[in-house]
Structure formats: structure tokens, C-alpha cells
Amino acid sequence: MKKQARFLFCWLCLQVIFASVFSEDWGAAVVPSMNALVTSCVVVPCTFKYPGTELPDSRIREIWHEKADWKKIIYQEDKTEIVDSFKGRTKLLGRLGNKNCTLEIDEIKDYDNGPFCFRAEIPGQDKSKFSFVENCVSLSMMPDPDDPTLDHKEVLEDGVPTTFKCFVVHTCPSHPPTLTWSRANKDATTKNRHLSNGVWEIESLLTLTPTEQDDHTQLNCTASFHGGKKSLTSNRIYVKRK
């Protein structure tokens, strides 16, 4: 029995090895377009694959460059190759070993539209040098953030706990925005989740027990984004007497 289990295990291992050796092609998957908030950051999801056996990370060079001019490098491990306007602003968040080329661009400027393209090179094997020029991302600049959405029951009841929900979308998951309430912040819970294609939604839930005194008062939710921009939504609340 033990022997059989070991045999099965080895057989499975071989299947995995063969699958990774023979089934892969060159390719990269980059989200084609994204919004980016000026002054904040944007994280561009990217994955890639190459044919043949798994190579050590040091054999692969990952480059992000401008589509218009592949010599305008916005990210490379050798920082001296990066154009001045992007020096210190780009970071690879993905791990090479995971074939993850996810890029962060920080301190977004209003001219960072791109398109920016990912390329992987395997130096020393000229034939294998490969450019994924078709896999580029264009950024749409947002000068100002969207206002958060504030959801709650229209009419609250005196003494009955009610949950308020505030949420806003963003594309900077490495430094997500913070949501703050005009009261009772400590009791709020926050969740940040990926919607799709690099768009995230952060939400804050606050449970309050309103009293008569809260009738006709304002409740604010403020979203503060990495880089310093803010947006705010303010709702008047109505409390029904018992």
C-alpha cells in the first residue's frame, strides 16, 4: 500500500513536470486599460509565460517600456536604464518565480497615459528574445477621485442599530484609500476587494444606534487617497421616534 502511494505520487510529479515543459508558449496577459488617479498610484496586473523548462529568476529580464519607443524604459531591474521621468516611481510587485509582472507606478503625473508595454527577455539566447509589444496598458488620468457612495436606510428608528456602508473604487491596492466617518470611527470595519481587471473596491461598515437627537443631522464619509487627494459624501439622516 505504501509502495503504491509512493508510485502514484511520483507519477503525479512526472505529469506536472511534463505539463510545464511541453504545454507553454510565449505570452503575456496585461490589463489593456485602467484609470489612474493623479498623485496616487496604479497597480497594473500582469502575468506571463515562456516555453520550455522553468528558468532561474536571474536568467529572465523583465522590462516595461513606452509603446511609442521601446528604448524609453519605465521599469527595469537596472535602475540606470530607466528614463528620468520614471526613476523612483516604478516597482515590480509581482514575483518573477510566479511569472507575475504586476507593475506599480507611483506619484501618477497627468502625462502618464502610456501605453506601457511589458517585455520579457532571456539574455544570451538571441532566438528567444521576445517582445510582447501587443500587451500594453493605457492609463486614463483622473484629475480628481470619485466621491464615495454612502448607503443606508432612508428613515432610521430611534434606538434601533443600523449599518451604514461607504465604498469607493480605486486602482492602487498597494496603498488603498482610507475611509473615515464623521463619528464613531473606531467601530467601523474595512474590507478591500478586487472587482476585476485591477479595479478594487474598499468599503467601510459602521453600525450606529441613532437617537432622536440625530434626526436631521449630517453623516459624512471621507475617502483619503494615497498621494493626498480626498473626496467626501455627506448624507442627512432622519430618525423616526419610537
Helix, strand, or coil (residue 16): helix
Nearer CB in complex with ligand NAG: 96/239: 96
Q: Cβ 98 to ligand NAG, closest distance in Å?
A: 5
Q: What radius of gyration do the chain's Cα atoms show? A: 24
What is the DSSP secondary structure assignment for residue 186, as one 8-state letter? G
Which of residues 114 and 173 has its CB atom nearest to ligand NAG in the complex? Answer: 173
Largest CA distance in the chain: 79
Least gap, CB of 204 to ligand NAG (angstroms) = 21
CB of 242 to ligand NAG, least distance (A): 48
Check: CB of residue 218 under 8 Å from CB of residue 235. Answer: yes
Q: Where are the alpha helices (DSSP H) in the chain?
A: 2-22
Q: Least separation, in Å, of the C-beta of 143 and ligand NAG?
A: 27
Closest separation in Å from C-beta 102 to ligand NAG: 4
Residue spans of beta strands (DSSP E) within the chain: 27-30, 33-37, 42-44, 46-49, 61-66, 69-75, 90-92, 103-105, 116-121, 136-142, 149-151, 155-157, 162-170, 178-181, 189-196, 199-208, 217-224, 230-240
Q: Which is nearer to ligand NAG, 47 or 224 (CB)?
A: 47
Choice between 95 and 183, CB closer to ligand NAG? 95
* Distance from C-alpha of 125 to C-alpha of 196, rounded to nearest angstrom: 36
Residue nearest to ligand NAG (CB): 100
User: Which residue, 199 or 232, is less far from ligand NAG as judged by CB?
Assistant: 199
Q: How far is the CB of 73 from ligand NAG (least distance, A)?
A: 21
Cβ closest to ligand NAG, residue 27 vs residue 149:
27
What is the Cα–Cα distance from 147 to 138, expressed in whole angstroms? Answer: 23
Chain centroid to Cα 41, Å, comes to 9
Binding site for ligand NAG (CB under 6 A): 47, 93-94, 98, 100, 102
